[in-house]
Amino acid sequence: LADGANGDHDHSEPTMSKPFANEPPVDFTLDQSRQAMRDALAAERAAFGKDWPLVIGSETPTSGQWIDSVNPAKPSEKIGRVTAATKEQAEAAVQAALAAAPGWRATPADKRAAILDKMAALMREERYRLAALEVFEVGKAWVEADGDLAEAIDFCEFYAAEMRQLGRPQATFAVPGENSMQEYIPRGVGLVIAPWNFPLAILAGMTVAALVTGNTVVMKPAEQSSIVAARFMDLARRAGLPPGVLNLLTGHGEDVGEFLVNHPKIDFIAFTGSKEVGLKIWEAGGRTGKGQAQLKKVVCEMGGKNALIIDEDADLDEAVVGALYSAFGYQGQKCSALSRLIVLEACYDKFLARLVEATSNLTTQAPEEPATNVGPVVDKEAYERIKRYVEIGKGEARLAFEGKAPEGEGYFVAPTIFAEVPPTARVAREEIFGPVLAVLKAKDLTEAIAFANDTEFALTGGLYSRSPANIERVKRELTVGNLYINRTITGAIVARHPFGGFKMSGGGTKAGGRDYLLNFVFPRVVTENVLRRGFAPVDDSGGDHKLAQAGGTSGGMPGL
Ligand code: NAD
């Protein structure tokens, strides 16, 4: 209606699409789902060994330098390799994105949204295959890999639906005689830098948000999950993205990543990753380089040191399961993962005993096996870092449990629990990003909240309690971006749980939330005076009024 009434805005036909709904998870209790996953794993393994080039405009160059992608459960098994881009190729990718920008920004928002829907449809078709690839490339258990696929599908469809709204200019506060419309225009050329731990969902989420709002993108995925990224690129092209709108630049973060961050023609950066890298990018974004036309925007999502409080009246059956999954799901390699469990003194011994018992039942093995609870950590560097923290923890606190990792070449670290951890201990303060849990004892809820808030991060947090007053208090006082009560503290779902933190966890943007797309646009207002004053000049020959060119005929012209 707004379109028809104003006539002079977007002339495209609005695409009809169904209301957004979350993608359901695959039900692996069904025989046919398990068989489909087994078939997909076999098919992926049979396809190992491919070389993946860069994608720059309509070219697919290589550099002669390669990054091997290996199975962390069996590092001698090579999945494939991607090209390590050179700086010249990074420059070419920026130029390709710049060249494609005018055409893409002029593409109606509905058409851009339709391409995202097509990407979601392709992901749905290839769901088992892509999930199987994640099992191999980053060591996700089946359910975790499938969850990443569902989230990626949700990001595409949710941002498409949001853009259909955002793409329509909105009237501002109305007064007679004035037509004033606010619209959103793209920022320009964006750089997406993604982590490996949600190899499709986070990469695709940041990328499609930037694309659907009319920006062109250079995509720099994490080295560890480059093949998933190459598959996403391939899928995006098949969905109908014109050449240059999205460019794939695999390579080393500290090399081409840094070069791109500082590039004057990059208008914004969407980053998700560690605090160390995020802070560097945040700072670099604040510098204005030679030839830079506008202020660089940085969307920055970083790490966490997430706490869960177990109140003395908590339902311990629920709390043990929730804590276990939050701490050890995907080997503790989620930014939302539980790493500080704060238990009230009154239930501490009982809870800890049950937690240790439950943890001892977890199976650590190669995630190809459906019964896997804990798989390998992502690479050798992560393995060595986590092992170092286990040694540090042994000097700082009591080792309450250390699981058994399978022998062999895989990067397996079994779940480890430290008890009576002092709040000042390094294992209670630093992001370990592995299956290592610090348990702290608090004398009451006041102390528990103080412990929970005593961190530089503010990402996720939670409480198990049956006391309405305590629940209300924690809702008010816990300083985290996503607070969960009586449930796990991981597993945010697009649109239901917009996700992201503040303090050293991020800049306050919420992926999967209604205002996320606003990070990728500039608001712009066009105001037209439609109260035309005075008479139009009279044409001597015929006596007709020469009406003001732009205005049409009688409406809103008080002089006539
Ligand atoms: P990372 O910071 O090591 O790498 C992230 C990306 O940055 C990679 O693509 C990497 O190549 C690139 N990079 C590295 N150095 C760079 C540089 N100097 N300039 C430009 N780019 C550079 O993080 P990671 O190991 O891939 O991911 C794990 C981290 O991500 C954890 O800290 C985790 O908490 C965080 N994370 C946060 C969220 C969130 O939503 N807040 C989500 C997932 C992961």
**Confidence label for 532 from pLDDT (cuts 50, 70 and 90):** confident
- Centre of ligand 1 from the C-alpha of residue 535, in Å: 64
The helix-helix angle for 316-328 and 345-359 (nearest 10°) equals 60
Nearest atom within ligand 1 for CA of residue 335:
34
Reply yes or no on whether 300 is catalytic. no
Amino acid letter at 152? Answer: A
CA pair distance 103, 186, nearest whole angstrom:
12
Q: State the average pLDDT over residues 318-333.
A: 98
The pLDDT assigned to 534 comes to: 64
Reply yes or no on whether 335 is catalytic. yes
3-state secondary structure 326-393: HHHHHHHCCCCCEEEEEEEHHHHHHHHHHHHHHHCCCCECCCCCCCCCECCCCCHHHHHHHHHHHHHH
Model confidence over 212-239: pLDDT tens digits?
Answer: 999 999 999 999 999 999 999 999 999 9
Model confidence over 231-278: pLDDT tens digits?
Answer: 999 999 999 999 999 999 999 999 999 999 999 999 999 999 999 999
CA pair distance 536, 533, nearest whole angstrom:
9
Examine the pLDDT at 14 and tell me if it is beyond 60.
Answer: no
Could you identify the residue written with the tokens 């339902």?
A: 315
- Centre of ligand 1 from the C-alpha of residue 277, in Å: 6
The residue among 211, 4, 6 whose CA lies nearest residue 104 is 211
Quote the radius of gyration of the chain (alpha carbons, Å): 27
The residue among 275, 332, 228 whose CA lies nearest residue 456 is 275
The pLDDT assigned to 539 comes to: 64
CA nearest ligand 1 atom 28, residue: 273
Examine the pLDDT at 547 and tell me if it is beyond 60.
Answer: no
Cα dihedral 498, 500, 502, 507 sign: negative
Q: State the average pLDDT over residues 478-500.
A: 98
Q: What is the DSSP letter of 43?
A: H
CA pair distance 23, 10, nearest whole angstrom:
30
Q: State the average pLDDT over residues 466-476.
A: 98
CA pair distance 325, 127, nearest whole angstrom:
24
The pLDDT assigned to 538 comes to: 67
pTM, full prediction = 0.93
CA pair distance 308, 314, nearest whole angstrom:
12
Examine the pLDDT at 553 and tell me if it is beyond 50.
Answer: no
Distances (CA, A) of 111 to 117, 166, 413, 532: 10, 13, 47, 36
The pLDDT assigned to 270 comes to: 98
Q: Do the beta carbons of residue 226 and residue 52 sit within 8 Å? A: yes
Q: State the average pLDDT over residues 345-365.
A: 98
- Centre of ligand 1 from the C-alpha of residue 276, in Å: 8
HSE (CB half, 13 Å, CA atoms) of 213?
30
The residue annotated as part of the active site, out of 23, 223, 312, 335, is 335
End-to-end CA distance of the chain: 28
Distances (CA, A) of 522 to 22, 180, 245, 249, 412: 28, 16, 19, 26, 46
Examine the pLDDT at 9 and tell me if it is beyond 60.
Answer: no
The pLDDT assigned to 11 comes to: 41
**Structure tokens given for 120:** 């979601």
The helix-helix angle for 226-238 and 127-138 (nearest 10°) equals 160
Examine the pLDDT at 36 and tell me if it is beyond 60.
Answer: yes
Model confidence over 291-321: pLDDT tens digits?
Answer: 999 999 999 999 999 999 999 999 999 999 9
**Confidence label for 541 from pLDDT (cuts 50, 70 and 90):** low
Residue 237: strand, helix, or coil: helix
Q: In the sheet where 170-171 sits, what is the strand order?
A: 170-171, 178-186, 521-529
Distances (CA, A) of 13 to 114, 152, 299: 12, 27, 32
- Centre of ligand 1 from the C-alpha of residue 477, in Å: 29
Residue 396: strand, helix, or coil: helix
Mean pLDDT of the chain: 93
The residue among 295, 315, 143, 110 whose CA lies nearest residue 213 is 110
The pLDDT assigned to 400 comes to: 98
E runs forming strands in 163-295: 170-171, 178-186, 189-193, 216-220, 246-248, 268-272
Helix (H) or strand (E) run with residue 397 in it: none
**Structure tokens given for 356:** 């240790």
Nearest atom within ligand 1 for CA of residue 505:
41
The pLDDT assigned to 10 comes to: 42
Model confidence over 133-185: pLDDT tens digits?
Answer: 999 999 999 999 999 999 999 999 999 999 999 999 999 999 999 999 999 99
CA pair distance 317, 245, nearest whole angstrom:
50
Pocket of ligand 1 (CB under 6 A): 193-197, 202, 220-223, 253-254, 257-258, 261, 272-274, 277, 280-281, 301-304, 335, 431, 433, 459, 500, 505-506
The pLDDT assigned to 4 comes to: 31
Distance of CA 243 to the CA centre of its chain: 24
The pLDDT assigned to 552 comes to: 39
E runs forming strands in 364-480: 398-402, 416-419, 436-442, 457-458, 460-464
CA nearest ligand 1 atom 22, residue: 253
Examine the pLDDT at 543 and tell me if it is beyond 60.
Answer: no
CA pair distance 149, 202, nearest whole angstrom:
10
The residue annotated as part of the active site, out of 137, 151, 301, 368, is 301
CA pair distance 501, 486, nearest whole angstrom:
20
Q: State the average pLDDT over residues 88-104.
A: 98
- Centre of ligand 1 from the C-alpha of residue 193, in Å: 8
Examine the pLDDT at 7 and tell me if it is beyond 80.
Answer: no
Q: What is the largest CA-CA distance in the chain?
A: 102
Q: Do the beta carbons of residue 507 and residue 272 sit within 8 Å? A: no
Q: What percent of the chain has pLDDT over 70?
A: 92
CA nearest ligand 1 atom 9, residue: 222
